[in-house]
Structure 1
Amino acid sequence: MNLDLVTIGVIVANVLVSLKGFEDYAFRSKYIFNIGAIHRGEHLRMITSGFLHADMQHLAFNMITLFFFAPIVIAYLGPTNFLLIYLGSLLLGSLLSFFFHKEEYHYSALGASGAVSGILFSAILLQPNMMINFIIPGYLFAIGYLLFSIYGMKKRTGNIGHDAHFGGAVAGFIITLALRKEILFQDTWIVVAMAVPIIILFVMIKMGKI
């Protein structure tokens, strides 16, 4: 698989910043997503936290996922739009996380999962019938992923930033549709099906169910 220079750059940036964070706790504490710090005006943490990871396993999982799906997005949309989706997904993931935890001043998070979720969803929209893990059609995986994220947000399951995952996925979904409007007409029912969990979440928020 041929990797574009922009993908290599993103992976290298994640690896270098994460390795620094592994060995320098003060560095990690300065740039990690933290509600209290963001309330104090340290908004840059919403971006910098996406280049830090908890451990090598966390880093490897995100970068391997990016390795497989970034080439699809770049092939269809180009490197500039790939970066737009990556950073937009990272930011929306952080914003949704802030929305759900804004009163929890000690809440912290880190990782590129929101950004990577956006790239994953972009790739699925561009190739909705791709097989995930060789057995699951991409669009079905996407729907299940969002529904599980909603469940995780409601139940607070595990030490996982479900809200950041969801926000990143939604950003990838919306930006890709904005860039390739013809998908709405070519794969209308798949787009609608993938949008259903997004609508469910907003209805649940409106009703105070989450």
Structure 2
Amino acid sequence: MGNLNLITIIIIAANVIISYKGFGDFAFFEKYKFNVGAVRRGEQIRLFSSGFLHADTAHLFFNMFTLYFFADVVIGLLGGFSFIIIYIGSLLLGSLLSLYFHKDEYHYSAVGASGAVMGVIYAAILLQPGMSLYMFFIPIPIPAYVFGIGYLLYSIYGMKKRIGNIGHDAHFGGAIGGYAITLLLAPWLLQTNLLMIGLLALPIVLLFALKKAGKM
């Protein structure tokens, strides 16, 4: 983890350039951020463009730093074209899940590449479930699949309790995107990693079960 492929450089550069344009141009930021009311009026471009805007420099740095660590796992095992499909597909699915959960909240807005980045993380976990992750606040390595399941369970809690100014639903939608698209692009994982695929699906099944039960 942590190598800079040309594709990763281009995506990071696009995020930096567009985000900094948004930092200094309020009208540009407002025009391209995710907003439920605007999307429902027909401005679907926001489902995509919002993924390249960020709230501030710290938000941008955290997303791009995380992408830097996980992108090369996916590119190395699936190739650059598949990585782009996973990135864009996860970005869009993150926005669509946000729209689904907030469809009647016309004021709801969001920005950030978190959905796309979460999709890349989940793709990397599917491809290398045995890899270990080191968190700043935990002194021991965490198995990647434990992190993936735990993070999505926390996202469900965050969505239910509306914790912080965080798009938990976009993170979750991005993870679903990374999960589903990776399996479509690498169906051989169903033969080599079936148990892990089932474990990583549990939070996804739980979310929609809670939604159907009216508890979300």
> Where on the TM-score scale, by shorter chain, does this alignment land: which range?
over 0.9
1:62 matched to 2:63: yes
| Secondary structure in 2 matching 1:170 | helix
1:31 matched to 2:32: yes
- For structure 2, which runs of at least 5 residues remain unmatched after alignment? 135-139
Output the CA distance in 2 between the equivalents of 1:170 and 1:182.
18
The residue identity in structure 1 corresponding to 2:123 is S
Equivalent position of 1:193 in the other structure: 199
| Secondary structure in 1 matching 2:130 | coil
| Secondary structure in 2 matching 1:71 | helix
The residue identity in structure 1 corresponding to 2:21 is K
- Equivalent runs, 1:104-183 vs 2, <5 Å: 104-133=105-134, 135-183=141-189
| Secondary structure in 2 matching 1:111 | coil
Equivalent position of 2:43 in the other structure: 42
1:85 matched to 2:91: no
| Secondary structure in 1 matching 2:8 | helix
| Secondary structure in 1 matching 2:39 | helix
TM-score after normalising by structure 2: 0.95
Per-residue CA deviation, residues 56-81 of structure 1 (Å, 9 max, x unaligned), is 10000000000010011000111111
The residue identity in structure 1 corresponding to 2:64 is M
The two structures, once aligned, show a CA RMSD in angstroms of 0.9
Please identify runs of 4+ aligned residues in structure 1 that moved more than 4 A: none
Shift of 1:129: 0.9
Output the CA distance in 2 between the equivalents of 1:92 and 1:18.
20
Deviates more, 1:21-30 or 1:180-189: 180-189
The residue identity in structure 2 corresponding to 1:147 is L
Equivalent position of 2:137 in the other structure: none
Output the CA distance in 2 between the equivalents of 1:113 and 1:120.
10
The residue identity in structure 2 corresponding to 1:117 is M
Q: Which residue, 189, 211, 214 being the options, matches 1:208?
A: 214
Shift of 1:2: 3.9
Shift of 1:181: 1.3
Per-residue CA deviation, residues 33-65 of structure 1 (Å, 9 max, x unaligned), is 001111110000000000000001000000000
Note if contact 2:3-2:68 (Cα within 8 Å) is conserved in structure 1: no
| Secondary structure in 1 matching 2:13 | helix
TM-score after normalising by structure 1: 0.98
Output the CA distance in 2 between the equivalents of 1:96 and 1:142.
18
How many aligned residue pairs are there? 210
Note if contact 2:3-2:69 (Cα within 8 Å) is conserved in structure 1: no
Shift of 1:7: 0.8
The residue identity in structure 1 corresponding to 2:189 is I
Output the CA distance in 1 between the equivalents of 2:49 and 2:36.
14
